[in-house]
Amino acid sequence: DWNSGNVIAEQVERIRAQVGTGRVLSALSGGVDSAVSTALVHEAVGDQLVAVFIDHGLLRKGEREQVENDYVASTGVRLITVDARETFLNALAGVSDPEQKRKIIGREFIRAFEKVQQELIAEAAAEGDPIRFLVQGTLYPDVVESGGGAGTANIKSHHNVGGLPEDLQFELVEPLRTLFKDEVRAIGRELGLPAEIVGRQPFPGPGLGIRIVGEVTADRLEILRDADAIARAELTKAGLDGEIWQCPVVLLADVRSVGVQGDGRTYGHPIVLRPVSSEDAMTADWTRLPYDVLSKISNRITNEVREVNRVVLDVTSKPPGTIEWE
Ligand code: XMP
């Protein structure tokens, strides 16, 4: 019988056995997977763990603050924030291919972590105790979809499984590798994490970088962040968070269509809403959102985000569509 208390006890023991007295870095992303895996490792090894939050500039509105304030307050984890926004933007310049974006983002993630590792090693030189371990919030579905599981073909290279560079200097600690999302949430609740973090909808590691169809630029990120914040706020206000697995908001950055606003003709970008219902992200159906909520989101986005003149709804199940557009 599955029981979150048992899983925690079992994982804590496994983590201690793997890590010993070693130091551990954690890849904290702001999402529920990394929040729970980090809290689990913190539970197991306490101050041997340092959590690092890379602000890659592909985050949604308010996410950095949520990690720096709420998460730290509730766990007592030692957190280092790295501002890598410029590095990521430069690395992504001119790149439109989804797989290439994923590889670049994954590579830059690891590089940023390694840089912090070097700094922390220098700091800890007196103690002569290098950081050799890296926590990853990899779930069972990630493992399967990246071809590491039951012989499934590689559909997308998830950056936390398939996109790691050859020169990786860390040994991975992956305490969620056998778990599904609902199990991870149960463990998070059991560990006493705040409800907003535990109940958070999944958000991909590559962030908004794979929700801009086309090249990622600072301006485009700003447009998408604004539209996404509106959609999230309205869905929450309508009490629909529990019914939706996640709702990617996608910017079709290379598409323009003609519109009219006030007296003027516009030539703006479409935003796609992709609300899905799912058990484990392996399959999904599009969520039948109430028309009044869709209408509110559409009106607000087109009124408040200047560059967007059209909002469209994705009504495709998975398969054949994936949840994300890239
Ligand atoms: P797809 O688009 O493959 O998404 O149907 C399935 C689930 O995985 C998330 N996703 C990712 N998560 N790195 C991640 O950590 C990635 O590269 C990635 N791509 C997709 C997606 O948001 C959904 O929950």
Length of the chain: 326
What ipTM was predicted for this assembly? Answer: 0.99
Q: Residue 241 annotated as binding?
A: no
* Joined tokens for residue 1: 């019988």
Q: Does 320 have pLDDT greater than 70?
A: yes
User: Peptide bond before 175: cis, by omega within 30 degrees of 0?
Assistant: no
How does residue 147 score in pLDDT terms, banded at 50, 70 and 90? Answer: low
Q: Where in the chain is the domain with CATH 3.30.300.10?
A: 211-313
Measured distance CA(239)–CA(231) in Å, rounded? 12
Q: Answer yes or no: is the C-beta of 165 below 6 A from any ligand 1 atom.
A: no
Angle at CA of residue 9, ends 146 and 34, nearest 5°: 40
Q: Residue 35 annotated as binding?
A: yes
Q: What is the pTM of this model?
A: 0.83
Rounded mean pLDDT of 299-325?
Answer: 98
Q: Does 152 have pLDDT greater than 80?
A: no
Q: What is the pLDDT of residues 170-205, one digit of tens each?
A: 799 999 999 998 899 999 999 989 887 888 888 998
Q: Where in the chain is the domain with CATH 3.40.50.620?
A: 4-198
Q: Residue 31 annotated as binding?
A: yes
**Interval between CA 266 and ligand 1 midpoint (Å):** 33
Q: Which fold has domain 211-313?
A: GMP Synthetase; Chain A, domain 3 (3.30.300)
Measured distance CA(148)–CA(319) in Å, rounded? 20
Best mutation site among 158, 246, 279 for ligand 1 pocket (most ligand atoms within 8 Å of CB): 158
> Is the CB of residue 142 less than 8 Å from the CB of residue 106?
no
Q: Does 138 have pLDDT greater than 70?
A: yes
The pLDDT score that the predictor gives to residue 222 is 98
When mean pLDDT is compared over 115-119, 120-124, 233-237, the highest value belongs to: 233-237
The pLDDT score that the predictor gives to residue 29 is 82
Q: Residue 254 annotated as binding?
A: no
Residue of 53, 56, 110, 109 lying closest to 77 (CA atoms): 53
Measured distance CA(305)–CA(227) in Å, rounded? 7
**Interval between CA 18 and ligand 1 midpoint (Å):** 28
Angle at CA of residue 33, ends 27 and 36, nearest 5°: 85
Q: Does 68 have pLDDT greater than 50?
A: yes
Measured distance CA(182)–CA(201) in Å, rounded? 11
Best mutation site among 156, 161, 200 for ligand 1 pocket (most ligand atoms within 8 Å of CB): 156
Q: Which fold has domain 4-198?
A: Rossmann fold (3.40.50)
**Interval between CA 209 and ligand 1 midpoint (Å):** 12
